[in-house]
Each structure stands twice: as C-alpha cells, then as structure tokens.
Structure 1
Amino acid sequence: MSRSWSNFFFGAVDPAGTVTLDKIPGSFWIPALIVRVFGYSAWAVILPNALAAVAAALITAVTARRLAGVRAGLIAGAVVATTPILVAVARSNQPETFFVLGLALTAWAAVRAVQQRRLGWLIAAGALVGLSFQFYMLEAWAVWPALAAAYLFTRQSWARRIAHLALAGAVSLVSSLWWVAIVAAIPAGARPYIGSTLSNDPWEMVFGYNGLGRFAATADSSAYESFTPPFSGEPGVLRLFNAQLAGQIAWLVPAAVVALVILWVLRFPRPLTVLLTVWTATFAAMFSAVAGMHQFYTAALAVPLGLAIATALAAAHRADRTWPQIAIVGTAGATALGIGLASGGYSVPVSIAQAVAAAVAIALLSSRRAPRAVSTAVMLVGLLLTPTAWSAITIAHPSSINPVAGGVSEMTGGGGFGGGAGMPGSGRDGRAAGAVPGGAAPGGAAPGGAAPGGAAPGGAPQGFARGGAAGGGAQAGAAPGGDGGRPGGGASGGATTADTQLIAWLQQNAAGSTYLAATFGAQSAAQLILASDGGSFLPIGGFNGTDAVPTLDEFVALVQQGQVRYVIEPAGQWNGSRGGGLSSGDDSSASAQIRTWVGQHCAVDASAPSTVYACG
C-alpha cells in the first residue's frame, strides 16, 4: 500500500496488486502513509495504532468531562487507557485501535448532539459513524440504536427529531458506503480481486464475509464465505466472563451495569442515560451473540464502559451520595478478586491488593473525613489495579495474529470462566479443548468454491500485476532482509535464514517474471514480501487460501506467459492439506486445483534451498 496509490486505495495485500485485504482498508491508510514517508519498519506500522489508542483515551476523557465534570474525565480516560485488550491490540497493526478511536469521536459528537439538540452535531456523529465504518465496517452501525434512542428522548417536536435523525442517517450511510460503491463500480479487470469473497464483490466482502458470515447460524456458504475466529469461546449470556475474555475486558462490566442503574436512580439527564445504557447493552449483546471472534474485538467496549462508570461516580459525588460510589467500587473489587483467583499466577496477589484497596476506598468514602484527593486515588486503585497489571504484562507477550493481554496463550480456543484454561499461571500452555495451536494460521473459514474469474486482456487474471510497487518485480533484485516482525511470527524480528536463502535464489533465477514465486495464502506470501523488502509474490487463494484468485485457467496462463515460474511448497498450511505435497484431497477450490496441476505439470528444482516447484 505504501508503494502504489492503486494498492493504497484498494488495500492490496501484495505489491503486484493481486488481491485485497479481507476488509475495508481505512485503518491501514494512515500506517501506509507513515511507511511511505519513513520507510518500512515495525515502529512505522505500529506507532500510528498506539497513538490512536492514546487519542481514544484522551477524547473519551474530554467527553466524560462534558458529561459530568473533570473528575469524570479523569476516571473515564484512566478506564480506557488501562483496558487490557485495548493495550494489547494497540501494539499490533490490527484495525481495532482506529475503530476505538472512531467510537470515541462518535461519542464526543453524540453527547454534544443530545445535550444541545443540534442537527449539526447529530450529522457530525452520523459522519463519524461512517468514519468508523471505514475502520471496522458493520460493527460501527451498532452505535446507531443508542444514538437514535437518545435523540428521540430529547425535548423537541417529534417531526423535528425524526427529520434530524433521517438526515444524520443519510449522511452516515453515504460516509459509510462510499468506498464500497466506488470499488463495486470499477470493472473487475481494472482492480485487485476483493479478498475473502466468492464473487469478487466488495458488497459481499462487507455484508457477507464480514457481516452475516460471522454468525454461523445464518452463514450461507453458497452466497458468501463464513469466518468465525475460534478464540473467544462459545456464544452465550456469560461469554464476556469465560476464560478467554474475562481478563481482557470483563473487569468493569459488572461495575458498568451498576453504574447505569445508578444513573437511572439519580435521575441523570434521561437522553444521556439512554445513550450510555443502549450503547453498552448493544455492544455487550453483540459480542455475546456473534458465532466466533478474536478477543480484541471486545476492545470497542472500553469507550461505553469508561463513560458509564466515570459519569455515575462523578454524578454521585456531585449529588453528595456515598452509596453509589461504594456500590461501583465494591463491585469492581469483587469482580477483580473473582477473575484473579480463577486466573491464578500473578493475578492472585494483584487482585487481592485491588480488593483491599476497594475496601479501603469504601471506608474512606463512608467516613467522609479523608481528603478528596486521597479518597479519589484509593478509589482508582480499587477500580483499576488488576487490569492495569494485565495491561503492563502484555509488553512481554506480543502477537500479530491474535493480540491478547496478560500473558494469555495467543491462540486459545474454548473454555469457561473459572476453568483456568489459557489464564496466566495456570501451569498449562493455555489451549483449551479444540484450540488452534499458537502460530498457526487462523482457521474457521468455510471453503469457498471458485468464483467466476475471467481473464484480463493478454490472459492475465483480473486485477493482476497492476500498480506494482517500485522495485517490487523480480527484476529489481531487492536485497533480502526487511525490518519488523513477520505476520504470524509474534515476536519474530525479521527474515529467517531460510527465507533469506530462498529469496536470494529466487531473485537470481526468476528474472523477467512478474512474480518471484507463487505461494498459497496471503500470510505465507506476506512473510516473503517483508523478507524480500517488497518483492512480488503471488498469494494464491488470498487470506484464507479459498479465494478464486487466480483460477486454474488464470494460473496456467500466468505460467505460459512467464509471469510465474516458481511455486513454493505450501507445507500443508491451507485447506486441510497436511503432510506436505501439493495434493489437497477432495477439495475443489481453485487453490486445490492449482496444487493438483502444479504437482502434475511442474517438478521440484533440486538447486533451490527449500522445496520449490519449477513450472513452464
């Protein structure tokens, strides 16, 4: 994306612009611009995400200050800044951090719209929902029930309220779907293949694969691919408290519920109370119901949780009511103690310390004799000590595929709260039954059939070899190496010796080809692209290895035209093929067909440093 404006706009995975990401590329545009200016490195990719998390905490603090004063602002900012899963995902290049920033901005505009009953601020909130859509698609629209309900509670004529919501909704719709509409209008032969789709259609990618495809009960594999990451346990009412999610986000969920009840009891302005209540309930229900997800999806809860707790505490303080503050702090301390004891390890003494701090805070609040600064400081410790510790320990446990906080196994599967599986100090490897081993490529995608392909003029597949990166072709002879971690490698810090040797061999032998080599799956191609400093590799099958890019006919045409000369052994990573070789059993996907064809028409080149098939 940093080397070609075409790749930048479409979100292409590879320098040749073959296939896109499996999502709208909005959250990657800022990191791509930073890389374009400063060159590729791990910090250039990750720093913008970290700064987005900082900005989200600050903007949430500003919003809470507007709701209930400086005290609320400080508490809300602290809650967001110490949400463990947000800290973890902010240290990666996942799109979640920019999405949380978009939610914080939306909350800021929404509060002003509800307080001032102004169309301009409501339109701004709708537009910011659209901005958030560019970062994380349909999940951004989950804000609208809260925004609409809150605005309907404002004191205006019904005609005015409905008209304002209709205008803001129209703006939100346009600002959400402009990229999808533009890409859909561009002929398939003039752009990359849309990743994780059966029909090379951005509407399918957004509303199928990234929408209905996340709910297994409604997934229609004949219309769109289904992808349900297996990292957060089974759906259910108590899902946020299972072994995979409790330590990531659940620390303040019960306290937030208590806080929302308190806002209703204290008769806090109704429209604002509705906004916080519906927002929190909608997102909690969504994360509890989705068929499968990464833990870091739940980072979006940080904003409504922080606003609800901070507003209730500050409102109670203003009203000189002690019992609401005691109820919130006591609930947070009890929750921390329960999760900490279930987690084991370092969490036990830290959570006990938080529970003690909560008890001291309750005593100070009850006595009303302690200085305000002292009681506030102790109260914050009683609220946030354990999640802060989980956030801090995350530094030693980086992961690029599935970021998690507190040292939990990176690829945990099922399990329930209290079981200890996957929790720090449990004495296990963190894998519950059926878990995906750490470091493996994410699974859960239903194999997709070949989509209608068609070839561009000259026999090249649709979207191939356009807008390639400068120096990205095989002729460039880019020096092996590269900087930063490799996808899927967690803490890996650059190319392996095997990668370096293979790339040097390919650069010497693949001169004149569009692609240095073809490999199966975008993640396999990614580590080679990084290691070769932007060399061009054909990612057969896209992200999940199931995209019809290229089709068998298109791949054969590439070989015959000399655009692809070598195919790297897939090592049994994709489509259920294990044990090496290029056979994938009965799988009828385009990738499987290409593997079979390569096995029949190409031969292993003995001079290569690893298993490489020479074709053509």
Structure 2
Amino acid sequence: MTTDYDRPRHPGSAGPVAWGPPAAPGPTDAPAPGSGAGEPMGPLVRRLWRGRPEDPRWARPALLGLLLATALLYLYNLSASGYANSFYSAAAQAGSTSWKAFFFGSLDAGNAITVDKPPAALWPMALSVRIFGLHSWTILAPEVVMGVLTVAVVYAAVRRRFSPAAGLISGAVLALTPVAALMFRFNNPDALLALLMALTVHFVLRALEDGRTKWLVWAGVAVGFAFLTKTLQAFLILPALALVYGVCAPVRLRKRLVQLALATVALVVSGGWWVAIVELWPAASRPYIGGSQNNSFLELTFGYNGFGRINGDETGSVGGMGGGGGGQWGTTGWDRMFNSEIGGQISWLLPAALILFVAGLVLTRKAGRTDPARGSFLAWGGSLLMTVVVFSYMAGIFHQYYTVALAPYVAALVGMGVTVLWEERSRTWASLTLAAAATATAAWGYVLLDRTPDYLPWLKWFVLVGGLTGALGLIFVTRLGRQLALAAVGLSFVTSIAGPTAYTLSTVNQGHSGSIVTAGPAGASMMGGPGGGGMRGGFGGFPGQGRQNGNGETQGQNGGRGFGQGGGFGGFPGGGMPGGNGQNGTTPQGNQQGGFPGGGTGEGGMRGGRGPGGLLDGANVGSEAKKLLEKDAGNYTWVAASIGSQNAASYQLATGHAVMAIGGFNGSDPAPTLAQFQKYVAQGRIHYFIAGGGFGGGFGGGDRTGGSDAGTQISSWVEKNFKKVTVGSSTFYDLTRKSAG
C-alpha cells in the first residue's frame, strides 16, 4: 500500500513534517489530463465529482458515497421518533407561527416562557416547519442535514492535512458512532453544537496553516453561535485551541496575541448580540426566560446551564441520580465515559483515539514549532481531553447523549493516527502501536457487547477474535505479502467498527422520544433516571425490556423491580413509561405510586401532580381532549395551561394552538406567579387548566433543588375555584366557569 502524497518517511528528522497535499501546480506545471485544472469553471457536477486536482480519482466519488450513505442511514425510519423531544418541537412549532417566539425561543406562540436554552438550534427547525408545515420530518430532517455536514467538515479538516483515506476513515467512524446516529436524528441542541464545534476546530487548523487572521475570526464566529446553541458548553474546547494557536501559529507572537484578541471579539459579537437584545428588552413585553429564577438569560447561562452543571448547584432542577458515588446524575470519575451508563454511546474507539493521539505526538516530536500535522493532533486531541475531563467530573445534570460532542474529535484522531502510523509501519514501534490500538478496540468492544449479553451474542466473539487476529497481523505487517497485509488491515478495521455499527443500526431501527434518550439496543445504557436507578428517595428498574404493572412497578429483563426507601416504586423506563398500565405513567385511576414522571403519592417520593404526562415525556392526547381544546381556540391567547413544559408541549403539538407551560421545563420557574395567572384568567386569555404534569404538586421528599412553588399554588387555586371537566383519562378545569362550591 502506497501513499498518495510525497511525505518524509521519518517525521521530524529533517525539517517540518509534510503530511498533506503538495503545493498547487505552478505556472510551469502541466495539469494532469482530465483533472480539470487550468479549465474555466465547468459544470457543478463535474467539479463536485472530480474534487481537487491532486486527489486520486477515487477520492471524491468515495466522499460523495460516504455523505450519501450517511444521509440515507440517518433518514431511515426517521418518522418513527414522531416529534422526538416534544419540548423543542413545540418551540419550533411556535416559532413557525410567531416571529417573536422564533427570536426568543418561546415554547408557545403566546410567548409565556422560553425553552431553557438559547434559540439557535430551534431556528432551522422553525424555518423548516414554517416552509413545509408541521411534521416529524420537518422537525428532524434539519438534524440529519447537520449530521451529514459534520461528517463533511471532519473529512475536509482531516483530508486537508493528511490524505483522502484519513478523511474517509474519520468520516465513517463519526457516522457510525451510536450517539451520533441518535442525536443527528433527534431535535435536541446537541446536533448543531457538534457541527459548530467541528467547524471551530477546522477553522483553527486553517489558521495554523498560514497564520491568516480571517480563519481565526471565523472560528470565533462559530463558537459564538455555538454559545447561542448550548451556552457555556461551547467554551469547553477554547483553552486547548487558544493554547495550540498561541504556540504553533506560523506568525510572530505579537500577531498571534492580536489575532486571538480579534477572535475573542468575533466570539463576543456573534454570541452576544442576541443576549444583549434579550437583556435590554423590557421584561414585561417578552417571554420569561425559562430555566432561570429571576427572568435573566445571564443567570440562566452562569447558573442552571453554567457552573451549576459543574458543581451540581442548579436551582429549580430535579435532584438527580445518586449513582454509585460522586455526582447526582450518575457516577463521576475518570472512567465515567467508559462505565455502563455511557460506554456504549461513545467509547468504542475512545481507547484507540487516545493511543493514536499519543502516537501522533511522538511521531512529530522533532518537527518544527509550526508543523501542521502536530498542530492537528494537538487541536483535535486537546479538544477531546478538555471535553472528556469536564464531562467525567461534572456533578450537575448530565445525560448520555451529551457525549455526541466527543464524536468528531474521536473520529478525527482515529483517521489521522491510523494513516500516519500505517505510512511509518516499517518502524517497529509504529506497527506495534497500530496493533495496540486494534487490540484495545477489540478488547473494549468485547466488554461493551458483553454488557448486553442477549444482543447478538456471537458479535462479541467476532470482535474479540477477529480484532486480535488482525492486531497480530499488524505486528508483522512488513513481513507479510501485500495480500496478507491488506487482509490484516481490513480485518482490524471491520472488527473495530462492527460493534458501533451494530449499535448504530439498532438506533436507527427504532424511534426515540422524550427528554432522555440513549443509543443502541435495550439495556445498552444502564443509567437510572429520577425515581429509578438511584434517585435520592427512591430507586427502581433500569432501562430495558421491562414492563410496568398497575402498581407502578417495573418488571422484566434489564428492568428489575425497584423499591425506594421513602420514595415509592418506579422503573425508568423499561419498554414503556414508568408505572401503571395507563398511558405515560398513569394507572387506570390516573395516579402513579411514587414513579416518574406523572407524579405520585408515595411517602417521601416525588409528587408530580395527577393525570397524564410528566417531566420527561408528554401526554398522549386523545381525540376527545383535542376536540375540547380546539373549540373556540381563536378566542384565547392560550387554549390551555399545564404545569411543566413536556405536558404543555404535547397538547400544543396536537392542537396547533398555544399552551402555557407553567413553571417551565421542571415546573419550578416562577412564571407565571399566582397573581399573574389570576390576571390572565380574569382577562379571559386562558381557556383550560390541564391537571397533572411536571412537578406541579411539589416534592414530598424535597428532592428538587429549590425553585418556585408557583405551580402548586396555581394548581390549588384552580382546583378550588373552577369547574372540573373529565375527558377520557384526562382532567381539565374550565377557567371560564366557576365551580359550584
């Protein structure tokens, strides 16, 4: 196997390392026949197919094939997820009908309250719905586009400094990462965040090539919009990238510092314009900032969505999962990315990526300060390490799907490391390192697959035996003939991606909805949820193929029965919503025994109100309830109000009319207050109050970390003063009709 570019066989031995394409042909260089060089701009299809003149003929068709395959994979069975996370889908629906809701990221077109994030991730969905109408595909197809673009960006960044083969490997690894297949088909902000983070690294690497300021400024712009996607998570990679550029850029130190300052200005402007408008806008004429306790986006940024995620002090949040030690939302520590909660989502090639990162630094150790290959390893590797460290030790809210942020970094390191070590395979340590990476991947793949023993039991043995066989071949690759060498490489690659590919296929083959979703087959992630898997005040079944009986207990494989000391019963979730055999965690009587969501009455447990819906997923809106809310809907700003955003979102998506989410996502925001709600009712702006949902009933055991009890006050006031209307299994209160009592 030969390389496509003329690179030194011993990096760092004489001058800078030269991985990457050669310089463009000069005036005396004759372009390759049929390359398109020297021709006027031809048809777009021809240029897309041929690619760069210096690339081999197969490179561009292979890239287009990879992008097409990624798109088809992610589009497959897309509508099975319905509206996915109804919280964000409702906000997209609101933004499609109200430009004010679009700008602020309001959950409803009446602009009562925003989602608990800035709105950048909502804008593509809202525009799609405005143009094509409300449908599962119009909500989720933009996420698929983001996934394909992320694969393209990672390919471009890696190919530019290494080779098309490196770029293709990186793109394939990214596309087949289970959590990437999950989140690029789901409507949480993480898809756009991953795309913008990959773009940021790409722009920094472009700046490292020639020290041009514009690329660093573009990197700042990308981070700014990433901030408008998921606030401070966008800043995790900044220390690593700033240090890499400050040390490795091919310009004088003074200019480097000026460029970094300009990039900071670009970041502040691109991310701060929206914040400035929101903070300066009169609070009385804009929606309440969801997730905050004082109607301030800055408080939301640095509190609930900022440092609270690090130290666990998140006012208004649920009191998280106990876990085996450490943080409230699962076990913290250096091995968090590898444990049973997270490992199957992202860690398949993480050991190999770390090995190859170190190998890349060793390979370029003697290169000059400005060596672009070493800069690439430092940028991608530094971004990976910074994010892993923060994710591993953050004590606040943490979900498995956050790890999609790691996928571009892992993929790039694998593609770069494998190809450069292959080129240096004549050096004993390089072939041994390749073998070590293959061995680590095979062994770890076996461990991950063994955690789901009923899932393709033969696959773990194929991964282990095939991987170790391929690794053995890599050790002696220089002594093997061409055919055997290629066979060893092929076997190592196939066994390395077999596990994540199987998990990815399982992921796209099923729908995902609600607030907490995981990739892979049932039981692939054993992280418990509130009221299940270690919630303070109760613990129950893990996700799995369990079933719920009428007492709110979870039974079945990977589920287990969960009893909670002082916290009632409740699995989370196992083959259905926790508790009861009614829809969305309700018993036939509409009550759940200490489960989650949907409330409950277990002593010391969480009480979330009575009725359908809850914190993590919304209600199943029946035709009778929909008809009730749609009657005279045009006469009201909000056809209904409900405690908690998920419950409100379900009714809003079903009817197409605004539904007020009292207290925001957790039902713990002071919006509206009882006095404000009473004013809305007196003005005739709200038709119905929907019983249950969120944490409106408060906490028996005090497991919410502070926040407002306005939802409880409103619920009590409504129940005492207005007529109760029962439709199917749902309970409403008509706010235009006083009760007889």
Equivalent residue, structure 1, for 2:557: 427
Given candidates 122, 129, 133, the residue that maps to 1:39 is 133
Equivalent residue, structure 2, for 1:403: 517
* Cα distance, 1:423 vs structure 2: 7.2
Structure 2 Cα separation of the partners of residues 327 and 597 of structure 1: 66
Contact 2:317/2:707 (<8 A) preserved? no
Structure 2 Cα separation of the partners of residues 362 and 505 of structure 1: 65
Letter in 2 for 1:524: N
Distance change >3 Å, CA 67–CA 431, structure 1 → 2: farther
Letter in 1 for 2:360: L
* Cα distance, 1:339 vs structure 2: 1.7
Given candidates 285, 298, 302, the residue that maps to 2:389 is 285
Structure 2 Cα separation of the partners of residues 274 and 511 of structure 1: 58
Residues 519-598 of structure 1 mapped to structure 2, 5 A cutoff: 519-532=642-655, 534-570=656-692, 574-576=696-698, 589-598=709-718
1:268-296 per-position Cα deviation (integer Å, ceiling 9, x unaligned)? 64433322332111010011011231111
Equivalent residue, structure 1, for 2:155: 61
Q: Secondary structure at the match of 2:631?
A: helix
- Structure 1 position 259 matched with structure 2 position 360: no
* Cα distance, 1:134 vs structure 2: 2.0
Distance change >3 Å, CA 35–CA 603, structure 1 → 2: same
1:434-469 per-position Cα deviation (integer Å, ceiling 9, x unaligned)? 7862246988xxxxxxxxxxxxxxxxxxxxxxxxxx
Equivalent residue, structure 1, for 2:380: 276
Equivalent residue, structure 1, for 2:593: none
Given candidates 482, 489, 499, the residue that maps to 2:622 is 499
Q: Secondary structure at the match of 2:418?
A: helix
Contact 1:412/1:430 (<8 A) preserved? no
Structure 2 Cα separation of the partners of residues 356 and 588 of structure 1: 56
* Cα distance, 1:57 vs structure 2: 1.4
Q: Secondary structure at the match of 2:557?
A: coil
Equivalent residue, structure 2, for 1:386: 499
Given candidates 435, 438, 444, the residue that maps to 1:335 is 444
- Structure 1 position 185 matched with structure 2 position 280: yes
Equivalent residue, structure 1, for 2:572: 437
Letter in 2 for 1:507: E
Equivalent residue, structure 2, for 1:357: 466
Structure 1 Cα separation of the partners of residues 502 and 561 of structure 2: 22
* Cα distance, 1:597 vs structure 2: 1.3
Contact 2:309/2:394 (<8 A) preserved? yes
Given candidates 364, 375, 400, the residue that maps to 1:295 is 400
Letter in 2 for 1:44: T
Structure 2 Cα separation of the partners of residues 181 and 322 of structure 1: 54
* Cα distance, 1:345 vs structure 2: 1.9
Equivalent residue, structure 1, for 2:414: 309
Q: Secondary structure at the match of 2:622?
A: helix
Structure 2 Cα separation of the partners of residues 394 and 430 of structure 1: 23
- Structure 1 position 93 matched with structure 2 position 187: yes
Contact 1:13/1:19 (<8 A) preserved? yes
1:314-343 per-position Cα deviation (integer Å, ceiling 9, x unaligned)? 111222342222121121111111222233
Contact 2:615/2:693 (<8 A) preserved? no
Distance change >3 Å, CA 575–CA 517, structure 1 → 2: same
Equivalent residue, structure 2, for 1:326: 435
* Cα distance, 1:513 vs structure 2: 2.9
- Structure 1 position 602 matched with structure 2 position 711: no
Structure 2 Cα separation of the partners of residues 431 and 364 of structure 1: 47
- Structure 1 position 369 matched with structure 2 position 481: yes
Distance change >3 Å, CA 488–CA 591, structure 1 → 2: closer
- Structure 1 position 143 matched with structure 2 position 237: yes
Distance change >3 Å, CA 29–CA 170, structure 1 → 2: same
Distance change >3 Å, CA 430–CA 96, structure 1 → 2: farther
Distance change >3 Å, CA 436–CA 165, structure 1 → 2: farther
Structure 1 Cα separation of the partners of residues 526 and 649 of structure 2: 20
Aligned-residue Cα RMSD (Å) equals 3.1
Contact 1:149/1:274 (<8 A) preserved? no
Letter in 1 for 2:194: V
Larger RCO: Structure 1 or Structure 2 (Cα < 8 Å, ≥ 6 residues apart)? 1
- Structure 1 position 176 matched with structure 2 position 288: no
Structure 2 Cα separation of the partners of residues 508 and 119 of structure 1: 59
Contact 2:507/2:521 (<8 A) preserved? yes
Equivalent residue, structure 1, for 2:104: 10
Distance change >3 Å, CA 353–CA 383, structure 1 → 2: same
Distance change >3 Å, CA 510–CA 326, structure 1 → 2: closer
Contact 2:698/2:712 (<8 A) preserved? no
Distance change >3 Å, CA 122–CA 511, structure 1 → 2: closer
Contact 1:422/1:431 (<8 A) preserved? no
Equivalent residue, structure 2, for 1:477: none
Structure 1 Cα separation of the partners of residues 434 and 285 of structure 2: 60
How many equivalent pairs are there?
A: 556
Distance change >3 Å, CA 216–CA 599, structure 1 → 2: farther
Tell me the TM-score normalized by structure 2.
Answer: 0.70
- Structure 1 position 76 matched with structure 2 position 174: no
Contact 1:52/1:98 (<8 A) preserved? yes
Letter in 1 for 2:121: S
Runs (5+) with no aligned partner, structure 2: 1-94, 324-328, 366-370, 535-540, 547-555, 565-569, 579-583, 585-595, 598-613, 737-741
Distance change >3 Å, CA 57–CA 376, structure 1 → 2: farther
Equivalent residue, structure 2, for 1:465: none
Equivalent residue, structure 2, for 1:236: 333
Larger Rg: 2
Tell me the TM-score normalized by structure 1.
Answer: 0.83
Structure 2 Cα separation of the partners of residues 507 and 607 of structure 1: 14
Structure 1 Cα separation of the partners of residues 307 and 143 of structure 2: 27
Given candidates 180, 204, 224, the residue that maps to 1:110 is 204
1:365-420 per-position Cα deviation (integer Å, ceiling 9, x unaligned)? 3234234754443232132110110011113442222221112458831879xxx9
Structure 1 Cα separation of the partners of residues 377 and 563 of structure 2: 41
Structure 1 Cα separation of the partners of residues 423 and 506 of structure 2: 36
Equivalent residue, structure 2, for 1:483: none
Runs (5+) with no aligned partner, structure 1: 444-485, 579-583
Q: Secondary structure at the match of 1:211?
A: helix
Q: Secondary structure at the match of 1:168?
A: helix
Structure 2 Cα separation of the partners of residues 364 and 406 of structure 1: 31
Equivalent residue, structure 2, for 1:468: none
Contact 1:20/1:194 (<8 A) preserved? yes
Equivalent residue, structure 2, for 1:513: 636
Contact 1:517/1:538 (<8 A) preserved? yes
Aligned sequence identity (%): 32
* Cα distance, 1:102 vs structure 2: 0.9
Equivalent residue, structure 1, for 2:262: 167
1:219-278 per-position Cα deviation (integer Å, ceiling 9, x unaligned)? 263xxx446764962211111111110111111111111111111221164433322332
Q: Secondary structure at the match of 1:24?
A: coil
User: Which sits farther off after the overlay, 602-611 or 121-130?
Assistant: 602-611
Q: Secondary structure at the match of 1:93?
A: coil
* Cα distance, 1:362 vs structure 2: 2.3
Equivalent residue, structure 2, for 1:412: 527
Q: Which runs of 4+ in 1 moved over 6 A?
A: 423-426, 430-436, 440-443, 606-609
